[in-house]
């Protein structure tokens, strides 16, 4: 419930990218006021304004960190973006700590006419690290698709890929499928083929994991009736046939038969594939 809120599901918009504009803008404003105090030392309240912009920046950064942490925890442990996200989070924590120190240093300098060297340097380093961290945040969204479209999904997304080997008969039992609840998905890999398994109306459906448009992860998409919607650009596919019912994708998905043999649910691979 709380996690759903932090991921922006009630708002249908992710919270973290919405909130980060506040600290970024406030830290920049603080630096601009510092620089203005160097140009116009006689202008009143520049350093006081800078201090409060920075203080508000730290408070809003801590607020933005909470949904950011919620987004971080749902990145698959086997996803290459996890490392980038860890670096992004670590840099942000360092930035907040630097601004905390900066506030401590400048709290005794209210009477000064212009900014002192140490707090100015701390601000410059803070902005530099924030820029690197912002770049990494952009890569997480635009290159890796992290948090994109996940706010539309009501059920949890699979945290890791389960690995299996093909069998002589083509039937690969997937015991974890039986634990799926309605509209939940699993992601499995069988000798290089990555497959999503979904439970819909108590039936299992298996289809290729990667969207035919730009390879969005369909096991993290929304299930609506018999359709799966890609989290990246909203292509929809019929999970029964793999047919595209809404673009931008133009190519149908590959689907797989799901059978129950000897009480075990499993995927039947086409032996030619
Ligand atoms: S990657 Fe799926 S719609 Fe673009």
Contact 63, 19 (CB under 8 A): yes
Q: What phi and psi, each to the nearest 5 degrees, are found at residue 75?
A: -70, 130
pLDDT tens string, the chain, 273 residues long: the values are 777 777 777 777 788 988 999 999 999 999 999 999 999 888 888 999 999 999 999 999 999 999 999 888 878 777 778 899 999 999 999 999 999 999 999 988 877 888 999 999 999 999 999 999 999 999 888 887 777 766 666 777 787 888 988 888 888 888 888 888 888 899 999 988 899 999 998 899 999 999 998 888 899 888 888 999 998 888 999 999 999 998 888 999 999 999 888 888 889 887 655
Is residue 204 within 8 Å of residue 258, measured between CB atoms?
yes
pLDDT reported for residue 137: 93
Write down the pLDDT at residue 214: 82
Ligand 1 centroid from CA 215, angstroms: 6
pTM of the model: 0.67
**207, 235, 245, 250, best to mutate for ligand 1 pocket (most atoms within 8 Å of CB):** 235
| Whole-number Å distance between alpha carbons of 58 and 92 | 11
Q: What is the pLDDT of residue 153?
A: 66
pLDDT in tens, 69-126: 988 887 877 777 889 999 999 999 999 999 999 999 998 887 788 899 999 999 999 9
Q: Which atom of ligand 1 is nearest to the CA of 247?
A: 3
CA of 255 to the centre of ligand 1 (A): 17
What per-residue confidence (pLDDT) applies to 166?
Answer: 83
Beta bridge partners of 172: 267
Best residue among 142, 196, 217, 248 to mutate for probing ligand 1's pocket (most ligand atoms within 8 Å of CB) is 248
CA 246 – ligand 1 centroid, Å: 11
Ligand 1 centroid from CA 91, angstroms: 30
Cα angle: 257, vertex 259, 265; to 5 degrees: 120
CB atoms within 10 A of CB 48: 13
DSSP state of 234: -
For domain 155-268, give the fold.
Rieske Iron-sulfur Protein (2.102.10)
Interval between CA 143 and ligand 1 midpoint (Å): 13
Q: Is 127 helix (H, G, I), strand (E, B) or coil?
A: helix
Instruction: Map tokens 């992710």 to a residue.
Output: 14
So what's the pLDDT on residue 109? 80
Strand bridging mode 185-190 / 162-164: parallel
Residues with CB under 6 A from ligand 1: 211, 213-216, 230, 232-233, 235, 248-249
How is the chain split into domains, by residue range? 2-150, 155-268
């Amino acid at each position: 419930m709380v996690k759903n809120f932090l991921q922006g599901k009630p708002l249908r918009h992710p919270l973290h990218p919405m909130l980060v504009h506040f600290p970024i803008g406030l830290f920049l404003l603080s630096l601009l006021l510092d620089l203005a105090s160097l140009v116009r030392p006689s202008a009143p309240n520049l350093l006081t304004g800078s201090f409060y912009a920075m203080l508000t920046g730290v408070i809003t950064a801590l607020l933005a960190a909470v949904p950011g942490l919620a987004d971080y925890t749902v990145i698959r442990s086997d996803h290459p973006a996890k490392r980038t996200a860890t670096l992004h989070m670590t840099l942000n924590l360092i930035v907040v700590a630097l601004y905390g120190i900066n506030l401590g240093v400048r709290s005794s300098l209210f009477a000064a006419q212009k900014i002192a060297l140490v707090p100015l340097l701390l601000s410059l380093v803070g902005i530099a690290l924030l820029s690197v961290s912002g770049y990494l945040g952009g890569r997480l969204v635009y290159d890796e698709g992290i948090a994109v479209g996940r706010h539309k999904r009501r059920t949890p997304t699979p945290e890791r890929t389960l690995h299996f080997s093909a069998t002589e008969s083509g039937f690969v039992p997937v015991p974890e499928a039986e634990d799926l609840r309605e509209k939940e998905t699993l992601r499995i890999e069988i000798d290089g083929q990555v497959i999503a398994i979904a439970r819909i109306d108590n039936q299992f459906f298996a289809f290729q994991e990667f969207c035919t448009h730009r390879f969005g992860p369909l096991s993290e998409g929304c299930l609506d009736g018999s359709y799966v919607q890609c989290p990246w650009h909203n292509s929809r596919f019929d999970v029964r046939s793999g047919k595209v019912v809404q673009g931008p994708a133009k190519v149908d998905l590959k689907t797989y038969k799901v059978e129950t043999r000897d009480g075990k649910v499993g995927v039947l691979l086409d032996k030619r594939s």
